[in-house]
Amino acid sequence: MNEKMAHPTDIRNSKALLRREIKSRLAGTTDAELERQDGEIACQIVGILNTAQTAQTVLMFSPIRFEPQIASAFDHCLNGGHQLVLPRITDAASGAMNLLRVDALDTMVNGPFGITEPDPDFCPPVDAGSIDLAFIPGWAFNPQSGARLGKGGGFYDRLLANPNFRARTIGVAYSDQLVPDLPIEAHDHPMDAVLSPEGLVEVEK
């Protein structure tokens, strides 16, 4: 089913409900199953990086709870000839974040929300326009349309809306985060592909 835009209030309510449903699903999944899915996803990311030699600058994310734990792929990105870029939250209230280049994983520090972030004293800023490939988290994705349901903070919405940001975007999801229909608003930007333990699905344009 293709997503349709409804009244903004109805959409926001539908998004909030779906976030609760997804959170409940993931909370009911065993740690062993999530770790299995983490391994599948990380292996696929490594495979994507191996074949994306022209993607010099790669944006990843430092996962929090209920996000695929992809940090094991950071080393492969660094050692595979790519530049690793990670976000750093600068203003949680407004959903502002900077993108910083990470040359060594020991330059990471604990940031807001328990997120491990690049230390700005050691990690230089990167312009959004220089990103070639971006792995994007979210609460839910429709792998057919590429629609993404974010966490509600607007961090990635602002990045995706940046006119200089032209990277290939891949949404990263657990199996329970794949849904056939998503409530969307005008500012929601679809992914180019969706990656899950089931594989990589390219979105038809």
Quote the tokens at residue 47: 């495979």
Q: How far apart are the first and last CA of the chain?
A: 15
Does the annotation place 168 within a ligand binding site?
A: no
Does the annotation place 59 within a ligand binding site?
A: no
Does the annotation place 15 within a ligand binding site?
A: yes
Does the annotation place 4 within a ligand binding site?
A: no
Does the annotation place 36 within a ligand binding site?
A: no
The DSSP string of 47-78 is HHHHH-TT--EEE-----TTS---GGGHHHHH
Does the annotation place 16 within a ligand binding site?
A: yes
Does the annotation place 151 within a ligand binding site?
A: yes
Does the annotation place 55 within a ligand binding site?
A: no
Does the annotation place 182 within a ligand binding site?
A: no
Strands (E) across the chain are located at 57-59, 83-91, 96-102, 108-110, 116-118, 133-136, 140-141, 148-149, 168-172, 193-196, 199-202
Does the annotation place 93 within a ligand binding site?
A: no
Does the annotation place 166 within a ligand binding site?
A: no
Does the annotation place 67 within a ligand binding site?
A: yes
Closest CA to 176 of 84, 67, 69, 79: 67
Does the annotation place 154 within a ligand binding site?
A: yes
Which residues are part of a known binding site for ATP?
15-19, 148-156
Residues making up the annotated binding site for substrate are: 67
Known binding-site positions: 15-19, 67, 148-156
